[in-house]
Amino acid sequence: DGKGAHWADATKTQVRKGYSKWIFHLNEDGILPDEDEICPADRVLEERLRSYLKRLQDQGLSSQTIASRITDLSEALRVMAPKSDISLLKQLAITTQQRAEPSRKKHARIKQPSEIWNASYHYMDSIIQSDNKLTINIASRFRDAMTLGLLAHRPLRRRNISNLTLGKDLLFVRGAWHCHISREETKDGSDIRFALPDDLAFTTVFTHYLLVVRQRLLRGAPLDRDAIPHLTGPLWISTRGRQMTDHAIYYSVNRISEDLLGSPINPHLLRDCAASAMSSEAPE
């Protein structure tokens, strides 16, 4: 029932690691052993924060990473000592965030979702039209392009896209695919509901993935269209015939996007691509 109880596991881990770096710093400076009984927020003094910033800078960390370290520390103390005055730390977090410079030129890698989808579709269509045998390697490449194409339409977070399960999150109802991700599985605690695109191009390659490509990865025979409403199990299958992890999804999307578009586009950047497209094409 604490102030951080609603945090996702990844957020808890990040803040916990961020706080541990502060504890390490205090310990290295010989401060912690003499103050292990006081409130954690009372250890935050201006000279100590200056010393901590210098240590982070001496480690060669980027300004963005340093800002994240300070924000993690601020969040940890906010939930650990909610009645304490940490205004100095909060102001430092704001200042470092404002001064932080992106370490990567992300804007140069932003592409239109339509461009991403077209590249994915044409690659998958070329495999469908080819007379070559569908090997495990070709099947995995088709799967990666399908993942990229789906994210171009519906830019889910990496964890949610990797956990999509037929018969659970994805249901075939009245001739169309519908997705429902429960609030227990989302970062902000809200349900996600949407329908998959119903245009001919998308349904053609998605159906081919389900009935032929996915079956190949599962070491099974192709299925008839009648099997579609009854499909179950993980949507994304690895070359070993198992559910893909979110890390595997990350690297496969990076790899196929670099091959098809000339530069890697990770799942999170695809969300930026969508936001950029909406802000330019439909600002209202």
Our measurement of the distance from residue 109's CA atom to the centroid of its chain's CA atoms, rounded to an integer in Å, reads 17
What are the angstrom distances between the C-alpha of 16 and each of 19, 71, 171?
A: 5, 12, 37
Parallel, antiparallel, or unpaired for β 192-195 and 165-166? unpaired
Over residues 212-223, the mean pLDDT reads 97
Tokens of 200: 């001919």
Type of residue at 263: S
Q: Which long-range contacts (CB under 8 A, 24 or more apart) does 152-155 make?
A: 152/113, 152/114, 152/116, 152/117, 152/120, 152/270, 152/273, 153/113, 153/117, 153/196, 153/197, 153/202, 154/179, 154/194, 154/196, 155/113, 155/267, 155/270, 155/271, 155/273, 155/274
Over residues 40-57, the mean pLDDT reads 92
pLDDT-based confidence at residue 187 (cuts at 50, 70, 90)? confident
pLDDT at position 36 over 80: no
pLDDT-based confidence at residue 34 (cuts at 50, 70, 90)? confident
Per-residue pLDDT, 25 = 94
Per-residue pLDDT, 188 = 78
Cα separation, 233 vs 243, in Å, equals 8
Over residues 79-91, the mean pLDDT reads 91
Q: Tell me: the pLDDT tens digits for 222-237? A: 999 999 999 999 999 9
pLDDT-based confidence at residue 125 (cuts at 50, 70, 90)? very high
Contact 212, 130 (CB under 8 A): no
5 DSSP 8-state letter: T
Tell me what percent of the residues of the chain surpass a pLDDT of 90: 68
